[in-house]
């Protein structure tokens, strides 16, 4: 190996031995860091350019769909949830056996209560107690009573039809009650669920309670209001209670005019059958309209 002259070694002792290692150490420390910073900045700039290029080239519809999917829920899921919510609000049809059993039991209890009240009032009247005799409303029936029954059927059925067309709350209330009670029944079952309540309710309200309060329009209105209140529930709202109060008042007036329990019983049963059969054979779309 060639050696430097001794004069150069003595003149520049640090240049050859110290200065070169110092420069090499700075290069090892600074160069990789600078290179990393520069390359990272270039990579970030490239990503930003590619992202902006993709966004400018992508179709607007796709961007709108991605934005809507990110900011809201799936349309299919949303529609299914709305459908479930609407279904939860709708009345659920009860089983046929449960409806028939409940109708028979309830009608039997109402009839028994009316029978007890009639016998109790009759017994009290015979013993001179200050209580009107309910047996003044008899089971007699005359020919002209047919005209009264026909008039009640026409009045109540036509009034119901008008209210169904003009009163949305009453329409929804009637629809909910009919859906719950009548959906699972057979056509012949309508006679049972129409006549049993018609007989028992009229026997209790117009054949027992109303004569105790007196055969007048005030008694007819009071028992009619009580009759309407008891029709709340099972999807029936206050609009239906108002309607039932009007119906009870009409049956009460007919009872006063005829002094016969047969007139309100026949009118009530026929109106129930007509209303049930019309609902049964009316298309769902027409009922909703």
Q: Express each pLDDT in 112-126 by its tens digit.
A: 999 999 999 999 999
Please tell me the pTM assigned to this model: 0.68
Rounded to 5°, the CA angle 161-166-170 comes to 75
Query: Residue 220 phi/psi, 5° resolution?
Result: -65, -40
150 in any annotated domain: yes
179 in any annotated domain: yes
pLDDT number for residue 36: 44
Measured between alpha carbons, how far is 266 from 113 in angstroms, rounded to an integer? 20
226 in any annotated domain: yes
Q: Are 235 and 176 in contact (CB under 8 A)?
A: yes
- Looking at the fold, whether 38 and 130 belong to one and the same domain comes out as no
- Looking at the fold, whether 26 and 162 belong to one and the same domain comes out as no
In the block, residue with structure tokens 């107690």: 129
pLDDT number for residue 237: 87
- Looking at the fold, whether 218 and 156 belong to one and the same domain comes out as yes
157 in any annotated domain: yes
Measured between alpha carbons, how far is 80 from 89 in angstroms, rounded to an integer? 14
- Looking at the fold, whether 156 and 50 belong to one and the same domain comes out as no
- Looking at the fold, whether 241 and 156 belong to one and the same domain comes out as yes
- Looking at the fold, whether 141 and 20 belong to one and the same domain comes out as no
24 in any annotated domain: yes
Domain span at 34? 15-54
Contacts of 279 (CB under 8 A, 6+ apart): 178, 182, 287
93 in any annotated domain: no
pLDDT number for residue 124: 94
- Looking at the fold, whether 231 and 115 belong to one and the same domain comes out as yes
Taking 50 as the pLDDT cut, the residues of the chain under it are: 1-31, 33-36, 59-89, 285, 287, 289
- Looking at the fold, whether 247 and 129 belong to one and the same domain comes out as yes
- Looking at the fold, whether 107 and 215 belong to one and the same domain comes out as yes
pLDDT number for residue 171: 93
83 in any annotated domain: no
136 in any annotated domain: yes
In the block, residue with structure tokens 């459908």: 83
Query: Residue 236 phi/psi, 5° resolution?
Result: -85, 130
Total domains in the chain come to 2
- Looking at the fold, whether 136 and 195 belong to one and the same domain comes out as yes
- Looking at the fold, whether 115 and 242 belong to one and the same domain comes out as yes
- Looking at the fold, whether 42 and 149 belong to one and the same domain comes out as no
**What DSSP element (H or E) covers 284?**
helix 284-288
Measured between alpha carbons, how far is 223 from 85 in angstroms, rounded to an integer? 39
Count the Cβ atoms, other than its own, within 10 Å of residue 220. 24
């Amino acid at each position: 190996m060639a050696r430097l002259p001794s004069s150069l070694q003595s003149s520049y002792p640090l240049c050859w031995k110290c200065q070169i290692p110092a420069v090499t150490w700075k290069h090892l420390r600074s160069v990789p860091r600078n290179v990393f910073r520069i390359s990272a900045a270039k990579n970030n700039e490239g990503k930003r350019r590619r992202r902006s290029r993709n966004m400018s080239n992508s179709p607007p519809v796709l961007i709108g769909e991605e934005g809507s999917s990110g900011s809201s829920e799936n349309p299919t899921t949303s529609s299914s949830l709305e459908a479930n919510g609407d279904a939860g609000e709708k009345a659920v049809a009860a089983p046929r056996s449960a409806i028939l059993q409940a109708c028979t039991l309830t009608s039997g209890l109402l009839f028994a209560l009316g029978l007890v009240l009639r016998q109790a009032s009759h017994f009290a009247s015979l013993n001179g107690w200050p209580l009107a005799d309910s047996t003044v409303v008899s089971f007699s029936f005359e020919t002209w009573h047919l005209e009264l029954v026909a008039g009640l059927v026409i009045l109540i059925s036509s009034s119901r039809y008008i209210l169904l067309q003009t009163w949305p709350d009453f329409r929804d209330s009637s629809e909910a009650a009919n859906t719950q009670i009548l959906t699972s029944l057979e056509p012949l079952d309508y006679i049972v669920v129409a006549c049993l309540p018609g007989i028992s309710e009229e026997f209790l309200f117009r054949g027992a309670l109303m004569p105790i309060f007196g055969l007048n329009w005030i008694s007819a209105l009071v028992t009619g209001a009580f009759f309407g209140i008891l029709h709340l529930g099972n999807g029936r709202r206050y609009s239906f209670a108002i309607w039932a109060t009007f119906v009870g008042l009409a049956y009460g007036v007919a009872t006063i005019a005829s002094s016969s329990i047969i007139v309100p019983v026949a009118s009530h049963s026929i109106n129930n059958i007509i209303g049930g059969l019309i609902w049964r054979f009316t298309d769902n779309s027409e009922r909703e309209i």
